[in-house]
Amino acid sequence: MRWFLRSKIHKAIVTEADVNYIGSITIDEDLIQRAGFMPGEKVLVVSNTTGQRLETYVMTGKRDSGIICMNGAAAHLIKKGEEIIVMGFELSDKQVKPQNVHVDKNNKFTKFL
């Protein structure tokens, strides 16, 4: 068994960072569905801006809002305006074809990679 990349949202922009909220990352519901994430799923978030990396879980944001909000302690590490990649992984004995979603600067779906 190996860990494979299963889902990715590539080059999203953090629209909000709320240190007073109880942990997680809030993601636009449309992007969650296109990438194949599920609410509560553990994800790796990487900042292309600073190089910070952290694990958290997905929370559903308003559909078509473009929201990408870092919540709780994660908001200290990745801030509003940073460009990020959100990745989900799957443990499998067979290779997994990832669902890679590219977004524009407003976090609107542009294409599958």
66: left (phi over 0), alpha (psi -120 to 50) or beta: left
38 three-state secondary structure:
coil
Is there a catalytic annotation at residue 21?
Answer: no
Give dist(CA 19, CA 106) in Å, integer: 22
Among 24, 47, 65, 92, the one annotated catalytic = 24
Helix (H) or strand (E) holding 86: strand 83-92
Give dist(CA 85, CA 55) in Å, integer: 12
Among 7, 21, 47, 57, the one annotated catalytic = 57
Catalytically active residues, by annotation? 24, 57
